[in-house]
Structure 1
Amino acid sequence: MSLTGVQLLIEDTHVVVENGIVKVTLSNPEGIVTGIEYNGVDNLLEYLNEESNRGYWDLVWSSPTSPGTKGMFDVIKGTEFQVIVENEEQVELSFTRTWDASLEGKLVPLNIDKRFIMRGCCSGFYTYAIYEHLDDWPAFDMDETRIAFKLSREKFHYMAMADNRQRKMPLPQDRDSPRGQKLAYPEAVLLVNPVDPEMKGEVDDKYQYSCDNKDSRVHGWICPEPAVGFWLITPSNEFRSGGPVKQNLTSHVGPTTLAVFLSAHYSGEDLVPKFKAGEAWKKVFGPVFIYLNSSDNEDNLFNQLWEDAKLQMQIEVQSWPYNFPASQDYLKWDERGNVNGRLLVRDRYIRDENISAKGAYVGLAPPGEAGSWQRECKNYQFWAKADDEGYFSISNIRPGDYNFYAWVPGFIGDYRYDEVLSITPGCYIVVGDIVYEPPRDGPTLWEIGIPDRTAADFFVPDPNPKYINKLYVNHPDKFRQYGLWERYAELYPDKDLIYTVGVSDYTQDWFFAQVTRKKDDNTYQGTTWQIKFKLDKANKRGSYKLRIALASATFSELQVRVNDPKAARPVFSSGLIGRDNSIARHGIHGLYWLFTVDISGARLVEGDNTFFLTQSRAGGPFVGIMYDYIRLEGPPSSTSNDADGI
């Protein structure tokens, strides 16, 4: 192709837009991407698929009376097409679907406007969408929304999503019988006779390629001949639900590339927005950038295209917010505000003076309780990371009322600034020095783990050699291997885990997940872990605090007993908590939970003491919890060298 500027061709059933580098074909008026031509390849998408199963926006929705997170799958098809911008520098197209009462129960009650933008001299195209629920429309739940691209199975076999997470992938047919054998759940398949014999014995599971929002900026696929990289770049997370550590799918066997904006993965129903009847709501998802690149140099081709994609990602991030989308609902930089300041930590049991909140995650999200941002899923969030001194700058914030939230690696709990911040266009708010006082009542007698909201610092076993993904062999993310929950019973065949403070090493002796135990009759039972510790003296009239931070919970209940494993009533029960399914989905964390257990000194003795931590639910192999951090604090009047010393 050799054109001057961006060209638009409107046909009866298709719309074609091209700029001399890329040519994109969309169905008219549905707005489904049916073809992408680039670098001599007529269509990078899977042409054998139906047109509606190539490049599309979709969502999953349900009525408010439907339980769980499974609803009606809807590939969003426009009913009206409109050209919004057309000139040599840019074309912006709109495909809309309008809802009315005649569609109740048939389609999600939303007006949806899908936009596609092509710019001159740009190796790719942008897409975004505006969803709107009007104030006289019925209630509904939205379980998921995303963009999906199904690439050519013949051409794209190499996937990349991080410097150390890229590989040649299995083929789609490798997952089907007889080449593939289904494992404990449909997404996980053992490759028993793959087309490439080198992959025999590996496990393929799309959840092995999940990623935290904060780390998911660019991912995609590479075709070696002709050299083509297909990349999905997400320049901002402001429109994604659940904050910076919410996990979502990326690229997986298909070959499929996703931009997920809203999902219940690694969270369950807590991250399903529930819209009430008459609730007015509007949100812009995106834009995201579909970037295409190529190279004439065959040496180290995969790395070349990946490094180039990362550079383009940085350009897109630095260009955010974009100045070219035409919708008034997408706000430009001069319509947004900024907040900066410094976060400090005060913990008098560590240091008398304030401590810099090094590496803290700080953000603005809709008003709520401390930590509510991780379950917020309707509106926008804006996050940044503090520097080594705790200074931060949060920029390009959409106008509105927000709370300021933070959490600090190395410290438990969540911070919320008491005042609501009202962001107006062009504002620059300086909050100055603000101080977070993490939960603390007394000195640390002992602790297990590092408070970082994950279980990654605990013992993650090697996988069963029958079920490996070679990418994660000798890899820092070894928790992404399949079947690790079964390794617990192999390592503890006769009795559950016992951890002795001062003797045990949590990196080797604390299993990363407290899972159930399978019995001979193929049912499951809960497990009880023990923490043994010594007290030189026990303050019988004092109050001790046991802080338990959980990185994940799935249909579980945590009970704590002190020195009597058979006590009829535990000193603490969490009740039934969690639906994040992180154990099965190799997530190492889901939603964060923090519990404080009051323990009367009368329950403790001089010398040997034991805490019994029981996960009592037993609904299957994936029921359980992941710990983040555990700490026992002595009474406030004591010091670490005093009668309560350990």
Structure 2
Amino acid sequence: MSSQVVQLHVKKNHVVLDNGILQVYLSNPDGFVTRIQYNGIDNLLEALNEKNNRGYWDLVWSEAGSTGTTGTSERVVGTSFKVIMETEEQVEISFTRIWDQSLKGKQSALNIDKRYVMLSNSSGFYSYAIFEHLKEWPAFNIPQIRIVYKLRKDKFHYMAVADDRQRLMPLPDDRLPGRGEELVPPEAVLLVNPVEPEFTGEVDDKYQYSSENINLKVHGWISTESETNPATGFWVIIPSNEFRSGGLVKQNLTSHVGPISLAMFLSAHYAGEDIVLKLQPNEPWKKVFGPTFVYLNTLLDGNEDPLELWEDAKYQMNKEVQSWPYDFPASDDFQKPNQRGSVCGTLLVRDRCVSDECIIAQGAYIGLAPPGDVGSWQRECKGYQFWTKANKEGYFLINNIRSGDYNLYASVPGFIGEYWNNGVLKITPGCEINLGDIIYEPPRDGPTLWEIGIPDRSAAEFYVPDPDPKFINKLFIDHPDKFRQFGLWERYAELYPDEDLIYTVGISDYTKDWFYAQVTRKKYDGSYQGTTWQIKFNLDDVEANRIYKLRLALASANVSELQVRVNDLKQDPPLFTTGVIGKDNAIARHGIHGLYWLFNIDVSSILLSQGDNTIFLTQAMATGPLALFQGIMYDYIRLEGPKYVSSH
């Protein structure tokens, strides 16, 4: 690649970043990306859209005290432009907006500094932003922060979000009335008369392309080839999770019909109001989101397969990940490598009912997040989080942690609950903290009498039905992510038309006989009702005057109340109720998990019988227009015998 210097052209109404490979036009002083020239294409973005509707940062905000995950959608509009750095190797520019009291109620109470960076010999550009809320400013909520890129619909038709999730996509026109029929929820549209007949009868829904943060590092689009232009790739690369909320398994949107590509930083999807950022009175807050990288590539040889562009984008993503944290951002708020520290250690599990020896926590998710309590990282959204996976020896190393105070958190596949170390880890520049061996003792009283599922925070191992043939997304036929098909919740009543699910321990198979979600049942009059599932099991003997333990791990809950009764369906009050929990909406959005919940329930031996027993699990909530999406997903259920009594 020939060496090209980076140039900045400042005009009255726009500025241009140009390194000879691509040219990026930004409106001045708004800071909207209005045009990206590359590979002979005048604009990769949708020129039919208004200039503020092509490439932009936006957020959703609501007044303090308001509930829910919606609010006022606000484009981040710069009011002043500044050149931060201008050399032959690098140009960094800033578009800022400053808040003052006259804007109260009209605009989110934030100072926002949007930065764009172009490097020489780089086939793309970077963007990051510094959000700041001063102590004396009004309290308010922020449900969402993101960057949006809207590409040309006449060129970009092939979308890729993962090796096994990529396809030719419908057009945005196909979702319009007459061509598409809105379903429930309305993000899902049945294509009845699409422009390209091959999509007829398919469902299009952006949530089918969600990814967990751990896998959400690169996604985007490939343009169709023409005589004048070889295939071109447009990719959003997110090299780090540190600025995203909710940990590694939090799910976010990627790319979807439009063609649109997103960089999601904060969202309530698959978590609900629990993860809405709520700034309190007198609370100062500052956070750097990004940088993320927009990477462009093209085929050098007309005979190459356009899918080589996806392979190249993954290669570039790995280069960006290895370069993190970048050394080039000019803002002092972005901590450079020498301002960060590291933590390492080995995680072991002690579960006497499984092994007398400590068990290596292979594949555990281990992370640092702001101080909280057990599992608080799932709902944490104001600070930074740093996660990794333990290797096969249980060893972990977390590098490049920003200076600050953290707790250590971990969850181990195959074991319920999670580890939390409430000792504050103080990260300082250059520190190398070795925690040595860390022992996690998962919840356990007595031996396992029976269990259903795998404790891995997901319902994926349970029975996921085939979709209704009228509501297919062809991508997910014979696909491991079968749960992403539309309308699977409706199949429950078809499979269990007259009575609810009954599972018999020792005979039933949870991969075939345990439906992936305990949903409501649609009645003949169109209303919905709660459902009661039964677990039937046999006890050879019951130890008198002892406490047995029922462990219920949920992978998701949406405005649900799970009631537990033992051997008496009419038991009132029930032995246990969760109360109304959850707003993660994972059922409607084709997720196989949302937030994780663990309930540990004492079962007195008085309630149990020698011989046959039944546990009744009632999801009691079925109210309002979205009752069909009220329900829970189980992660794992276990009944333990009474506590071991030590002979010492």
The interval holding the TM-score normalised by the smaller chain is over 0.9
| Aligned position for 2:298 | 294
Matches within 5 A, 1:83-94: 83-94=83-94
Q: Secondary structure at the match of 1:502?
A: coil
My pick for the range that moved more, 486-495 or 219-228, is 219-228
**1:9 paired residue number:** 9
Specify the alignment match of 1:110 in structure 2. Answer: 110
2:115 partner letter: R
**615, 630, 633: which is aligned to 1:626?**
633
Are residues 1:566 and 2:570 paired? yes
State the 1:382 CA deviation.
0.3
User: Does 2:128 correspond to 1:132?
Assistant: no
Matched with 2:280 is: 276
| Cα distance in 1, alignment partners of residues 306 and 498 from structure 2 | 48
1:583 alignment counterpart: 587
Matches within 5 A, 1:167-566: 167-225=167-225, 226=229, 227-299=231-303, 301-566=305-570
The residue identity in structure 1 corresponding to 2:572 is A
Contact persistence 1:266–1:590 (CA under 8 A)? yes
Deviations 1:589-637 (A, max 9, x none): 0000000110001100010000000000002100000000000000013
Q: Which residue of 2 aligns with 1:643?
A: none
CA distance in 1 between partners of 2:306 and 2:617 (Å): 48
**Which letter maps to 1:8?**
L
What CA distance in whole angstroms lies between the structure 2 residues aligned with 1:449 and 1:300? 45
Residue matched to 1:644: none
2:591 and 2:121 map into 1 onto residues whose CA distance is: 39
Once superposed, which parts of structure 1, at least 4 consecutive aligned residues long, lie more than 6 Å away?
A: none
What is the CA-CA distance between 1:87 and the residue it aligns to? 1.1
Structure 1: which 5+ runs fail to align?
640-646
Query: TM-score of the superposition, structure 1-length normalised?
Result: 0.98
Q: Cα–Cα, structure 1 residues 43 and 430, in superposed 2: closer, same or farther, change >3 Å? A: same
> How far did residue 567 of structure 1 move?
1.4
CA contact (8 A) 1:224 1:301 kept: no
Residue 486 of structure 1 and its aligned partner are, at CA, apart by 0.1
Helix, strand or coil: the match of 1:621?
A: helix
Kindly indicate whether the alpha-carbon contact (under 8 Å) linking 1:238 and 1:381 is maintained by their aligned counterparts in 2: yes
User: Partners in 1 of 2:460 and 2:306 — Cα distance?
Assistant: 29
Contact 1:550 1:626 in 2 (8 A): yes
Deviation at 1:277, TM superposition (A): 2.0
The correspondence of residues 29-68 of structure 1 with structure 2, limited to 5 A, is 29-68=29-68
2:371 and 2:422 in contact (8 A); partners too = no
Deviations 1:353-372 (A, max 9, x none): 10000000000000111111
Distance across 2 between alignment mates of 1:257 and 1:517:
36
Partners of 2:4 and 2:121 within 8 A in 1: no
Cα deviation for residue 497 of structure 1 reads 0.2
**Structure 1 counterpart of 2:341, which letter?**
G
Partners of 1:601 and 1:277 lie apart in 2 by: 50
For residue 461 of structure 2, give the secondary structure of its aligned residue in structure 1: coil
Deviations 1:372-401 (A, max 9, x none): 100101110000110011000001000111
Q: CA deviation at 1:416?
A: 0.8
Partner of 1:573: helix, strand, or coil? strand
**Alignment CA distance shift 1:638-1:196 (3 Å):** farther
Matched, 1:635 2:642: yes
Q: Distance in 2 between matches of 1:356 and 1:586?
A: 33
8 A Cα contact 2:2 2:121, kept in partner: no
Residue of structure 2 in register with 1:98 after alignment: 98
Shift of 1:198: 1.1
Residue 280 (structure 1) shift: 0.7
Any conservation in 1 of the 2:3–2:121 contact (CA below 8 Å)?
A: no
Aligned-partner residue type, residue 203 of structure 2: V
Structure 2 CA distance for aligned equivalents of residues 524 and 81 of structure 1: 55
Contact 1:362 1:406 in 2 (8 A): yes
User: What 5-or-longer segments of structure 2 have no aligned partner?
Assistant: none
d(CA) in 2 for partners of 1:422, 1:637: 39
- SS of residue in 1 equivalent to 2:156: coil
1:568 Cα shift?
1.8
- The code of the aligned residue for 2:146 comes to R
1:3 to partner: Cα distance = 8.3
Supply the distance in 1 between the matched residues of 2:197 and 2:303 (Cα, whole angstroms): 25
Return the offset for 1:540. 2.4
Q: Is the 8 A contact 1:559 1:570 kept in 2?
A: yes
SS in 1 for 2:579: coil
Aligned AA for 1:116? Y
Give the Cα–Cα distance (whole angstroms) in 1 for the partners of residues 403 and 98 of structure 2.
27
Specify the SS of the correspondent of 1:557. Answer: strand
Q: Distance in 2 between matches of 1:223 and 1:555?
A: 42
Q: Shift of residue 299 of structure 1?
A: 4.7
Q: What is the alpha-carbon distance in structure 1 between the residues aligned to residue 176 and residue 563 of structure 2?
A: 42
Q: Deviations over 1:73-104 (max 9, x none)?
A: 00101000000001110100000000011111
Cα RMSD (Å): 1.1
| Alignment TM-score, normalising by the size of structure 2 | 0.98
Aligned to 1:156: 156
Residue 419 of structure 1 and its aligned partner are, at CA, apart by 1.5
State the Cα distance separating 1:296 from its structure 2 match: 3.0
